[in-house]
Structures are given as C-alpha cells and as structure tokens.
Structure 1
Amino acid sequence: MSSSIRGSRIGAGPMGENERGESAPRQRVPYFCANGHRSTPAFAHDAELPAEWDCPRCGLPAGQDESAPPPASRVAPYKTHLAYVQERRSDADGEALLEEALAKLKERRGR
C-alpha cells in the first residue's frame, strides 16, 4: 500500500504572497562594527531605526557610520564566587575566618 502524500510534510508547498498576503514595505539599512563587518538588517519602512545594532558575526555594537563605528563596550569579565568574596574580605579577615572554622571543626571532633 502506498500513500499519496509520501515524502511530503505538513505545510509543504509554495508559500508566496498569494497565501500569506502582501508583505509590508521594507528597507535594508547597513550597520558597521569596529571589526569592519557590515550587516544589513531589514526594517519596516516606517519603523524608527535603532542607532546601534549588534553585529551578527562578532557581537560588537555596530552603527550606521562606516568611518566611525561605535566602540566596543567594556563588559566586566565573569567573576567566580571566590572573586566576589575576595573583593569584600581582606587577607586578615580570611585568616581569622579560617582559624575560627578550624577551631569549630576541631571542637566537634573532640581535639
């Protein structure tokens, strides 16, 4: 037995303006990043254009002026929990806390 829709999928077929309706007017706007990448996203013709756009290749901010792209933003590097603790505590505070924790541990063990 063979199926008449074999090799087909739901939604398969021509998808054009006949089925969806007419597309809204679009404009393509070039954006340039500090690495020299050019991207041209499409916006609705009457949309307010953003001053900056994230470069899809490198993620840096991109602007519309090719000769003066926006500078890369300073993003703080990922910090571990230990790095945050070290910012709040001095070495002397850390030594005092360690001694206190070791004293409690020795007390529990009966030494």
Structure 2
Amino acid sequence: MASGSAIRGSRVGAGPMGEAERGETAPRVQVAYYCANGHVTRPSFAQDAEIPEDWECTRCGLPASRDQQDPPPRPRATPYKTHLAYVKERRSDKEAAAILKEALANLKKRRRSGEIIY
C-alpha cells in the first residue's frame, strides 16, 4: 500500500481555505450592460462604488450600456488614408505646385554642379 499523506491534494505551505483568513468581502451588486450585438455583460461592483454608464462587452469588444432597448451604436470604422491623402488635407494645389517647382529647381541645380550623377 502507498504511503499516505495528510495534505494530499494541497500545496506545501497552503493555509486554511475560506474567508476567515482573508476577511469579509464587500457587499456586491451585479449590473447588466447590453451591446449592439445583443450580448449581456454582468460585472460585479461594490455597493458603495460609482457604477459607470458604459462598459466594454467582454464577448465582442463593442461599447455597452445599461439601457437594453437602446444600446450604444457600433463605432464607425474610418477608412485607411494614404500618406498622399494626409498631405492633400494640409496643402492646397497652389502650395503643392510651388513646393514641387522649388524641389525641381533644387534638383536641377545639384545635377548641374555634379553633386548628383544620374
């Protein structure tokens, strides 16, 4: 027969289990949050804590609110913009033409001086 152990199934150094050692837990309240996909998230808060109006859905990541009839809308996805699109937002066509003209003049000057060989 195998040797018996009085602490079988527990870790060495593990103390008694239960609330006696940890103390009493704070009174809790569960609050339901609803997302646009119809998921329900129910986090627990301490009774005296300030309960937020919005919460992130743990299943899909969309914003959720406490109003089941009118959950927050899905966030709008902004389309990808290229570097050129951002430049065009900052510069007018007239400014772009002046910058291009200046850059070409600088390039021609450097080619004439032999600084650039191509």
TM-score (normalizing by structure 1): 0.70
Corresponding residue of 1:21:
23
Distance between the aligned counterparts of 2:104 and 2:39, measured in 1? 56
The CA deviation at 1:25 is 1.2
Unmatched 5+ residue regions in structure 2? 1-10, 114-118
Distance between the aligned counterparts of 1:102 and 1:88, measured in 2? 21
Given the alignment, which residue of 87, 90, 93 partners 2:92?
90
The CA deviation at 1:97 is 1.1
Distance between the aligned counterparts of 1:49 and 1:77, measured in 2? 34
Q: Which of 34-43 and 98-107 deviates more? A: 98-107
SS at match of 1:56: coil
The CA deviation at 1:40 is 0.6
Corresponding residue of 2:102:
100
Distance between the aligned counterparts of 1:87 and 1:99, measured in 2? 20
Identity among equivalent pairs (%) = 61
Larger radius of gyration: 2
- Structure 1 runs (4+) deviating above 6 angstroms are none
TM-score (normalizing by structure 2): 0.66
Given the alignment, which residue of 64, 68, 71 partners 1:69?
71
- What letter matches 1:69 in structure 2? P
